Amino acid sequence: MALNLDFTVLAILLSGVSAFVFLMLFPALLELKKPRDAGPRTIIKEMLFQPFAFRLHVMDDSLDYQLNAVVSGRLSEIVSILPNLES
């Protein structure tokens, strides 16, 4: 089979390929422009967890109790800056 293209076919082919390439790369460009991927698990010295806004996933099972302590500590910090609505 020998390739035998006229100008119209070539133009359509090039347009189609360009459109395909753009569609293929579009999600990647979006993600690079506005990254929303959770990224690698953040390491807090003793253990690992994904950013709190996404999902907690402890890899170091033997240190579950420390994770609870960290979460409680963080929540305490957040609560402490809220105004005391009862007073």
Partner 1 sequence: MIGEIAGFAFFFVTFLTIAYLVRHVVFTLAVLRTPKDRKDGIVEISYQPSVSILIPAHNEERVIDRILHRMTELSYPKDKLQIVVINDASTDATGQIAENRAQKCGYLKVLQRYNKGTHRGKAAALNDALRLCEGEIVLCFDADYYPQRDIVEKLVSVFVDPAVGAVQGRVIVLNEPQNVVTRLVALERIGGYRVDQQARESLGLIPQFGGTVGGIRKSLLDQLGGWDEKSLAEDTDLTFRTCLAGYTVRYVNDAECYEEAVESWSAYRKQRYRWARGHMQCAFKYSLKVLTSRRLNFRRKLDGLLLLGVYFMPVLALLSFVSCAVLLTVQSSPWWFGMVWAMVPISLYSFVGNFAPFFEVGIGAYLDGRTRAQWLISLLIFTFLYNIIICTKAFVDLLISKILGRNGSFWIKTAHSGNGNDYILK
Residues engaged in binding partner 1 (CB under 8 A): 1-3, 24-25, 27-28, 30-32, 35-48, 50, 55, 57, 59-60, 62-63
Cα angle, residue 79 at apex, residues 77 and 85 outer, rounded to 5° = 150
Cα distance between residue 38 and residue 31, in whole Å: 11
Closer CB to partner 1, 11 or 59, in the complex: 59
CB 67 within 8 A of CB 49: yes
Closer CB to partner 1, 76 or 84, in the complex: 76
Closer CB to partner 1, 62 or 84, in the complex: 62
